[in-house]
Amino acid sequence: MSNDPLVLGIETSCDETGVALARGFGLLHDVVASSVEEHARFGGIVPEVASRAHLEALMPTIEMALQTSRVGLEEVDAVAVTAGPGLIGSLAVGLAAAKALAFALGKPLYGVNHVIGHALVDQLVHGAFDGPVLALVVSGGHSSLLVIDGPVVTELGQTLDDAAGEAFDKVGRLLGLPYPAGPHIDRLARTGNPGWTVFPRALTRRQDLEKHPYDFSFSGLKTAAARWIEAAQDEGRSVPVEDFAACFAEAVADVLTAKTITAARDQGLGTLVIGGGFSANSQLRDKAAERFAAAGLDLRIPPVEFCTDNGAMIAAAGVHALRHGLEPSGLGIGADSSMPLTQLLAT
């Protein structure tokens, strides 16, 4: 472990300023400064606010990570930074800092893919991937199925409209829950009855599966939930929020896990990784553990602290690139808000 390169990871794709140091797949320290409270009153992320928050927080966060890890900046062997996807202004802040550090230190720069990083961070917890794995990455902006085979990433499916976390936030707003609504719906669902009603499972009918076997759609589910709430309000009925949340969460977890198992069987893969902010959802975790065990599949889910955006996932992606001998990105890379999910590194 001591001979492995020391990688500094910087994450600024949205509203979290994350910095971490990892020596190989051994995490030294991870620091996150969040600006989520600054966005809460707007009911969503405000790009300009996020960019300014990164400018204020980035250098203190880097200094804290170095001090806590008890290493000097000169000891860093490589710098990894999120190049995309994400908010263009937020990405630019992190990239500018990472380029300056890499240039000053004379060390290689790796511009990594934020979404793929959500899966790769599991290697800091459960060890390096032993062969190809199937990764389900679910967050506020992404619901994607990826095959990660060393440095090669293949996209099997994605959301065609709303991502899982996005659907939770929109329905939460209708229920009057604070932003972000995901944790609140999760909490309410734990005491609700998931059999109280049945919400639709999009793209699960036979004709849909033939065309979109691994794709997701949560827009229809969101609309069905919204109509139920509106009808109840028009009729003067109260919404049983615990039962409503449990049924809504059940519908999302059902589709995510069912399609992931189908993809694993079709691709002949026995190891599945779930990552991204929405992977903190307890209904998804419980259903995945139950279904994947029954199917004889090995499930890897990192702890909740590694689910939301953080520097550890970017450091892990940098280590992954180094271990597979990928060429550094170079100082000429730019921020790519729509970076393809098949591209681990920016070039």
Q: For the whole model, what pTM was predicted?
A: 0.95
Exposure b/e, 76-114, CB count within 10 A at least 16 = b: bebbbbbbbbbbbbbbbbbbbbbbebbeebebbbbbbbb
Which helix (H) or strand (E) covers residue 300, if one does? strand 298-300
Checking phi first, is residue 106 left (phi over 0); if not, alpha (psi -120 to 50) or beta? left
Q: Which residues contact 13 (CB under 8 A, 6 or more apart)?
A: 82, 84, 85, 86, 87, 90, 91, 94, 114, 309
Q: Are 271 and 298 in contact (CB under 8 A)?
A: yes
Helix, strand, or coil (residue 265): helix
**Range 15-32 average pLDDT:** 97
Q: Give percent of the chain above pLDDT 70.
A: 99
Tens of pLDDT, residues 307-340: 999 999 999 999 999 999 999 999 999 999 999 9
Q: Are 275 and 164 in contact (CB under 8 A)?
A: no
CATH numeric code, 6-121+310-323: 3.30.420.40
Per-residue pLDDT tens for 237-267?
999 999 999 999 999 999 999 999 999 999 9
So where are the chain's domains?
Answer: 6-121+310-323, 130-304
The Cα diameter of the chain in Å comes to 68
Task: Note the pLDDT of residue 45.
Answer: 84
Backbone angles phi, psi at 287, to 5 degrees: -70, -40
What region, left, alpha or beta, does residue 70 occupy, with left being phi > 0 and alpha being psi -120 to 50 degrees? left
Residues 82-122: tens digit of each pLDDT: 999 999 999 999 999 999 999 999 999 999 999 999 999 99
Provide mean pLDDT across the span 199-213. Answer: 96
In the numeric block, the tokens 């180094």 are attached to 322
Summary mean pLDDT of the chain: 96
Place of tokens 């095959």: 147
Cis-peptide, bond into residue 240, ω within 30° of zero? no
- pLDDT higher than threshold 90 for residue 9: yes
Q: Which residues contact 46 (CB under 8 A, 6 or more apart)?
A: 38, 39
198: nearest Cα among 221, 226, 174, 170: 221
Query: Is 70 exceeded by the pLDDT of residue 41?
Result: yes
Rounded to whole angstroms, how far apart are CA atoms 224 and 271? 34
Assess whether the region 6-121+310-323 and the region 130-304 belong to the same CATH fold. yes
Give CA–CA dist 262/313, Å, rounded: 27
Q: Tens digit of pLDDT for each residue in 255-306?
A: 999 999 999 999 999 999 999 999 999 999 999 999 999 999 999 999 999 9
- Give residue 39's pLDDT: 80
Q: Topology of 130-304 in CATH?
A: Nucleotidyltransferase; domain 5 (3.30.420)
In this prediction, residues 135-152 reach a mean pLDDT of 95
User: What pLDDT is attached to residue 2?
Assistant: 67
Tokens of 10: 């910087």
pLDDT-based confidence at residue 64 (cuts at 50, 70, 90): very high
Res. 209 pLDDT band, cuts 50 70 90 = very high
Residues in the chain: 347
- Please report, as a single letter, which amino acid is at residue 129: F
